[in-house]
Amino acid sequence: MSTLVVVGTQWGDEGKGKIVDLLTEYADVIVRFQGGNNAGHTLVVDGEKFIFHLIPSGILNDDKLCLIGNGIVIDPSIFIQELEGLAARGRPVTSDRLRLSSNAHVIMPYHRALDHAREVAKTEGKRLGTTGRGIGPCYDDKIVRNGIKVADLLDPELFREKLEDNLKEKNFYLTELLNADPLDFETIYGEFQNYAERLAPFVDNVSILIDEAVRNGKNVLFEGAQGTQLDIDHGTYPFVTSSNTVAGAACCGAGIGPSKIDRVLGICKAYTTRVGAGPFPTELEDAVGDLLQKKGDEFGSTTGRRRRCGWLDGVVLKDAVRINGLDGLAITKLDVLSGLPQLDICTEYDIAGTRYSCMPANIRQINSIRPINMTLSGWEEDLSLMKSLNDLPKKARDYLKIIEDMAEIPIVLISVGPGREQTIFLKNPFE
C-alpha cells in the first residue's frame, strides 16, 4: 500500500493532469481534494485531448475509482457536463467508478454572480483575474458557515431553508453594494432539485472509501489543483485562490490522517507561467516570453486566457519543496526550451538591496522583487521523441542537474510532450 500526493509547485498549470493520468496506472484510487472547476487539467491520450475541471484525471483508466473529496467546491452543472462529455466520447462513467463527498460545498449561481461583480467593482491593479467560477465566494460561505453542502442539497427541506436565507443576504449584497441584478428563488430551487437527482447516485462518504482502500493495501493518488504560490496561506496573497493547494490540504480535503501519507510529488514546469493577475518575479515581457507562450501553447485550460511566461524561479521551487514536504519532482515541458541559446534560472531575490531566498509575505515587497539569475547555455535538439535520460543532450541534463541541486530532492520523471508516451520515467513515484 502506498499513498502519493501530487501538487503543483508554481502558479498552476504545471502539467498535473498529464502526470496524474500517467501515474493512475500504478494507483487504484484517485482523489481530488481542493479547488473546484477553476482547475483545468489536460490529458492527451492517443492524440485525443481531454480537459477535466472537476472529475479526477484518473477517470480515463477504466478500472480505477475516482473520488471528489470534501475539500472541493462543486458546481453541479459542471459535474454533469463533464459526465455527459465523457459519455458523448464513448466513455460513460457510472457511480461504481466515481463518488462525490456529501461534505463538499456546492457552488451556487450567487457565488458566480458575486465573483463577477466583485471583480468588476475592483479597480485595475486590484482585480485578481479570477476564473469567474464562483470559487472564492463559495469558500467564503463555507468559512462563515452559510454554505450549502452536497448533503444539504439532497434534503429538499433543508436546501429550501438554506437557499432562502442565503438569497436574502446575497441579493441585498448584489443589488445594494455591487450594483448587480438580484437572483430568483424559484428558478434556482427548481434547477437545483434536478441537479440533486442527478448527483444522488454518486454521493458517498469519501473518507471511508479512502480508509477502506488504504486498509486493503491499495495505492491511493491525491491530485492537487492550482499550485503552491496560489495557496491561500502560502501564496502571493491576495493574488491567490481561495483554498489551500499544498500537500497538507490532501488530509483535510479528503478525510485522511497525515500519518497515512507516504509520498509527495511536486510538478514543476521547466519554466514558469501564471494566468490571471498578480506578481510574477521572473516574468519575461519580451520576445523570449512570447516565444515560450507560443511554443508552450500557453493558454488557460479553463478560461482560454493567454498565460504569462518567464524563467524558472528557484526561490519558488525551494519554497514548494519545504511547504509541501516534496520528496520527488516531475519536470514538465522541458521540450519547450529547445532552441533557446541561453536559459536563466532565478536563484535569489533582491528587494531594495537585501537578498531573499524565500517569497516574502508583504505584497509591496513581492511587487518590487528583482530576480538574481544564473545563466546556462541552451540546446538545439528536439526532445519530444526522447525516451531516456541518456538521449537528452548534455546541456538539458545540466539544466536538470541544477534544478535537482537547488531543490535537494531527486527528479523522478521528465515530460517532453503532452502525450502519455512523451515521458521519461526515472523512478516509480509510489515507491
Distance CA 262, CA 26 (A): 15
Query: Does 319 participate in binding ligand GDP (rule CB under 6 A)?
Result: no
Of 4, 31, 55, 135, the one binding ligand IMO (CB under 6 A) is 135
Query: Does 40 participate in binding ligand IMO (rule CB under 6 A)?
Result: yes
Task: Kindly indicate which of the ranges 11-19, 62-70, 79-87, 248-256 contains the residues binding ligand GDP, using the contact rule CB under 6 A.
Answer: 11-19
For residues 92 and 82, is the Cβ–Cβ distance under 8 A?
Answer: no
For residues 307 and 273, is the Cβ–Cβ distance under 8 A?
Answer: yes
For residues 31 and 55, is the Cβ–Cβ distance under 8 A?
Answer: no
* Of residues 195, 210, 258, 216, the one with CA closest to residue 66: 210
Query: Does 276 participate in binding ligand GDP (rule CB under 6 A)?
Result: no
The DSSP string of 71-97 is: TBEE-HHHHHHHHHHHHHTT----TTT
Sign (positive or negative) of CA dihedral 139, 70, 166, 188? positive
Distance CA 59, CA 91 (A): 9
Helix H segments across 148-259?
150-153, 156-172, 185-199, 206-215, 249-254
Query: Does 230 participate in binding ligand IMO (rule CB under 6 A)?
Result: yes
Q: What angle do CA 408, 409, 411 make, to 5 degrees?
A: 130
166 or 302, CB closer to Mg ion?
302
Helix H segments across 296-411?
314-324, 363-367, 394-407
Q: What angle do CA 19, 236, 118 make, to 5 degrees?
A: 100
Query: Does 12 participate in binding ligand IMO (rule CB under 6 A)?
Result: yes
Query: Does 75 participate in binding ligand GDP (rule CB under 6 A)?
Result: no
Among ligand GDP, Mg ion, ligand IMO, none, partner that 129 touches (CB below 5 to 8 angstroms by kind): ligand IMO
In whole angstroms, the minimum distance from the beta carbon of 416 to ligand GDP comes to 5
Of 24, 131, 166, 324, the one binding ligand IMO (CB under 6 A) is 131
In whole angstroms, the minimum distance from the beta carbon of 49 to ligand GDP comes to 7
Query: Do you find a cis peptide bond into 341, omega within 30 degrees of 0?
Result: no
16 or 133, CB closer to ligand GDP?
16
Tell me the per-residue interface mask from 24 to 63 with ligand GDP, x by CB under 6 A, - otherwise.
Answer: ----------------xxx-x-------------------
C-alpha cell of 393? 543532450
Of 83, 148, 329, 336, the one binding ligand GDP (CB under 6 A) is 336
Query: Does 18 participate in binding ligand GDP (rule CB under 6 A)?
Result: yes
Task: Kindly indicate which of the ranges 124-132, 161-169, 256-264, 423-431 contains the residues binding ligand IMO, using the contact rule CB under 6 A.
Answer: 124-132
Distance CA 275, CA 131 (A): 9
In whole angstroms, the minimum distance from the beta carbon of 317 to ligand IMO comes to 16
Active site residues: 13, 41
Distance CA 33, CA 67 (A): 9
Among ligand GDP, ligand IMO, Mg ion, none, partner that 241 touches (CB below 5 to 8 angstroms by kind): ligand IMO
Distance CA 192, CA 158 (A): 13
Task: Kindly indicate which of the ranges 7-15, 120-128, 257-265, 309-317 contains the residues binding ligand GDP, using the contact rule CB under 6 A.
Answer: 7-15
41 or 64, CB closer to ligand GDP?
41
Beta-carbon contacts of residue 342 (< 8 Å; ≥ 6 apart) = 375, 376, 377, 378
In whole angstroms, the minimum distance from the beta carbon of 56 to ligand IMO comes to 12
Question: By CB under 6 A, what part of segment 266-305 binds ligand IMO?
Answer: 275-277, 301
Measured N-to-C along each axis, helices 109-121 and 135-143 cross at an angle, to the nearest 10 degrees, of 110
In whole angstroms, the minimum distance from the beta carbon of 415 to Mg ion comes to 14
Beta-carbon contacts of residue 294 (< 8 Å; ≥ 6 apart) = none
In whole angstroms, the minimum distance from the beta carbon of 38 to ligand IMO comes to 4
Question: By CB under 6 A, what part of segment 360-419 binds ligand GDP?
Answer: 415-418
Contacts with ligand GDP by CB under 6 A lie at 8, 12-18, 40-42, 44, 301, 332-333, 335-336, 415-418
Residues that bind ligand IMO in the complex, under the rule CB under 6 A? 8, 11-13, 38-41, 128-131, 133, 135-136, 225-227, 230, 241-242, 275-277, 301
